[in-house]
Structure 1
Amino acid sequence: MKCKILLVLFLMCIALFNSGCIGEGLTADQIAEKMEEKQANIEDTSTTVHMIVTMDDEVRETEIKMIQKNPGMSKSVVFMPEEMAGQTTVSNGETMWIYDPATDQVTVMPLPETPDDFEMDYAAAIGSILNESDVSLLGTEEFDGRDTFVLIVVPKEDDSSFGSDMKVWVDEETWTPLKIEMEIEDEYNMVVEYRDFEVNTGISDDEFEFEIPDGAEVIEIDDFEDLFPVDMGLDEIKQASEFEVLVPSYVPEGYGLDSASYSQTSIVSGVKESVTLFYSNEDEMILVSETFYDGEKDSNSLSMMEGETVSVNGEEAELYTMYGGTMMLQWETEDAIMSISGSLDADEMIQIAESME
């Protein structure tokens, strides 16, 4: 979700300021052309991304140092939260390295080739954004030593690409967001700051080569496409998996198994396999997910959300209410983290979980 929000804001800010005023009537094609002209002058960027997310009175702070260079080179190092400090992702445009110091594990994979004729449809993207948003200029302000425009971005519809009002500080020099504030119904607040933002400092290509630490475990992925789950029949998945795949014997009336996917490759530390079962009726879908670990399991993915502790077959489980009324039930087995999500009530969620065998 965060990447989508930042892309939307990036395109919108470029569109607004290249046109000077939305009301002047520049077409999306003209705006996109001006946008590409401006971005063509940027060879490299560096910044420290600082993000604070507050949800249900829980506060989570993240800080990541990021550098990028054309064509397609990038590096990010996590500083906060403490339990993720040192996690590093490096790409030289052809190979990506992902290092987790907590497990002393490096994942190495080739990156897919980008076709020469691949082009983003800026005109369509910008036109869509402008059509679903009201953007107003509050004024100018200095942020972190750079002159910025301050915008208010308001979605016209509840189902727009980003779903809430935002305040955005946009760099006058590069027309990229340097600060974003977003709040949803006093329950969710996010502030993202791009500190020490610099462009065209002559970053060396050497920054985008990763030296594997002595003694680190190396996991090599031969093909980037191996990371994507494969649709398989349930019997095929059970035969392929080295773990016991559980299947619910109960689902609500009207639901049936629509499809299933299987993956035995992951960049997440410790994950050996994952299975997802998709159940559907005419209008809704239920997702049953099983993530199998080799060693310690990571159950912190929903740590920013306040859950209700319930019982599944006498064991503790967490029940979360997601946006839009969707529920998610999560619990652990000996080898896996299990989850069920869908537009169901708590009793039905628990009944499905307790029927898994």
Structure 2
Amino acid sequence: MVPSNLRSSLAAVCLAALLVTSGCMATGPVEDDTVQSYAQQFEQEMNDLDGFTATRTTTVTYDGENTTSTDEVWVRPGTGEMRAETVAPDERTGDVVVRTMNTSWSYDASENSAYSIDFSESDLPRTNGFGYRLDDIAEQSNVSYAGTEELDGETVHRIEFAATNTGVANSNVTVWVDADTRFPVKLHQTVESDDVDMAITIRYDDVELNPGIDDDRFTFEPPANATVEETELPPMERYESLDALRENASMTVPDPALPEGFELEQAVVTHLDEGESLSMTFSNGTAMVSVGVQDAGVYGNRSLDGGETVPVGETTGTYRTFADTGTVQWTCDDHRHSVGGALSKAALLDVAESMGCE
């Protein structure tokens, strides 16, 4: 399973470009306030770029084995539209990925099969066309400017990101930004944990900025004889405050007593045919804690067997661990409750007990 740390890597690319463009040239650590300020400028900076085309080469090293692929890409950062056509290796040539703000298409040429996801009814976070958001990168990384160096005969700025939240995996990202175009031309990320030893390198070559990309690039029509599977994501709403969540949610919103310093990052309510699911994510800048509640129809017959039985208020629950992350789950009043994060078992049980059967 690829850890969630990888999701921030391309956001780091964008932030690195911003740091260089904004004149952050002194070597050494970059102040948190400076990083936050540039992160807040990200959306506008991306909107100012109409689009770009490039040849993207991605090399993934997983448990000592290398896999390399090359794609021709067309990207509109301001709208989140992206198209990637695979040109290597041979067994993947002809594969296509197309993403817009409402739909994602993936086409496997060797299987002549297409898969689409319609998320127009889901309040998903907006991406920048690189594929990921910048929301957490400023808060969850120590950023350093390492000066300039030569890359394939061109002068580039080197910027390094070290994750501050290492509860699950230790992740470090290095980005090289072209000194002339201010475009991030290379990224290298390592992820290490008890379960994963992984590195990813992404290169952008033959970059053309603002080329004037035709709208047809961001549409996809599968071949007439292709096998097509279409999925529509369920309606969901995102909230950034507990007040807004409590005002709009139909289920009771728990009030967990979290350790000092934790604040709500976001809450998501998902509406399924079987019921509703609520997920809240809290952060103190270096660690994350998730709190969840599901209607009985959502968790169905999934049992809590297989972990350690623990007391949760007047009921009992199950405690499980994966790497450095613990999870407590318990059921009451036809709802499944959960608390998880890179906290001690005692701390997670304290949070769970504070919720009880709310």
Q: TM class, shorter-chain normalised? A: 0.5 to 0.7
Secondary structure at the residue paired with 1:170? strand
> For 1:241-291, what per-residue CA distance to the aligned partner results, in whole angstroms no more than 9, with x for missing partners?
xxxx9x7896244179xxxxxxxxxxxxxxxxxxxxxx9624x357xxxxx
Task: State the 1:229 CA deviation.
Answer: 9.5
- Aligned partners of 2:20 and 2:182 also within 8 Å: no
Residue 137 of structure 1: aligned partner: 146
The TM-score, its normalising length taken from structure 1, stands at: 0.54
Residue 149 of structure 1: aligned partner: 157
Tell me, in whole angstroms, the C-alpha distance in 2 between the residues paired with 1:54 and 1:118.
29
Secondary structure at the residue paired with 1:48? strand
Residue 229 of structure 2: aligned partner: 219
**2:62 alignment partner, one of 47, 55, 66:** 55
- Aligned partners of 1:179 and 1:191 also within 8 Å: yes
Do structure 1's residue 178 and structure 2's residue 189 form an aligned pair?
no
Secondary structure at the residue paired with 1:210? coil
**1:208 alignment partner, one of 211, 218, 236:** 218
Q: Unpaired segments of 5 or more residues in structure 1?
A: 240-244, 257-278, 287-322, 327-342, 344-357
Aligned residue identity for 1:15: L
Residue 204 of structure 2: aligned partner: 194
Task: State the 1:177 CA deviation.
Answer: 2.4
Tell me, in whole angstroms, the C-alpha distance in 2 between the residues paired with 1:6 and 1:229.
30
Tell me, in whole angstroms, the C-alpha distance in 2 between the residues paired with 1:13 and 1:33.
13
Q: Unpaired segments of 5 or more residues in structure 2?
A: 237-269, 276-293, 327-341, 343-358
**2:318 alignment partner, one of 281, 295, 299:** 281
- Aligned partners of 1:167 and 1:182 also within 8 Å: yes
Tell me, in whole angstroms, the C-alpha distance in 2 between the residues paired with 1:184 and 1:65.
26
Tell me, in whole angstroms, the C-alpha distance in 2 between the residues paired with 1:56 and 1:29.
34
Tell me, in whole angstroms, the C-alpha distance in 1 between the residues paired with 2:98 and 2:82.
6
Residue 74 of structure 2: aligned partner: 67
Tell me, in whole angstroms, the C-alpha distance in 2 between the residues paired with 1:123 and 1:55.
25
- Aligned partners of 2:190 and 2:200 also within 8 Å: yes
Aligned residue identity for 1:254: T
Secondary structure at the residue paired with 1:78? strand
- Over the aligned positions, Cα root-mean-square deviation in angstroms equals 4.6
Secondary structure at the residue paired with 1:215? coil
> For 1:283-307, what per-residue CA distance to the aligned partner results, in whole angstroms no more than 9, with x for missing partners?
x357xxxxxxxxxxxxxxxxxxxxx
- Aligned partners of 1:19 and 1:31 also within 8 Å: no
Task: State the 1:9 CA deviation.
Answer: 3.8
> For 1:121-160, what per-residue CA distance to the aligned partner results, in whole angstroms no more than 9, with x for missing partners?
x99756525xx414032314244x7642123434456449
Tell me, in whole angstroms, the C-alpha distance in 2 between the residues paired with 1:252 and 1:25.
40
Tell me, in whole angstroms, the C-alpha distance in 2 between the residues paired with 1:15 and 1:194.
19
Would the alpha carbon gap of residues 78 and 45 (structure 1) be closer, same or farther in structure 2, given more than 3 Å must change?
Answer: same
Do structure 1's residue 254 and structure 2's residue 262 form an aligned pair?
no
**1:101 alignment partner, one of 105, 109, 113:** 109
- Aligned partners of 2:16 and 2:175 also within 8 Å: no
Do structure 1's residue 8 and structure 2's residue 12 form an aligned pair?
yes
Secondary structure at the residue paired with 1:202? coil
Deviation larger for 59-68 or 94-103: 94-103
Task: State the 1:62 CA deviation.
Answer: 2.4
Residue 87 of structure 2: aligned partner: 79
> For 1:14-49, what per-residue CA distance to the aligned partner results, in whole angstroms no more than 9, with x for missing partners?
235515246689655653465455433310111222
Would the alpha carbon gap of residues 146 and 255 (structure 1) be closer, same or farther in structure 2, given more than 3 Å must change?
Answer: farther
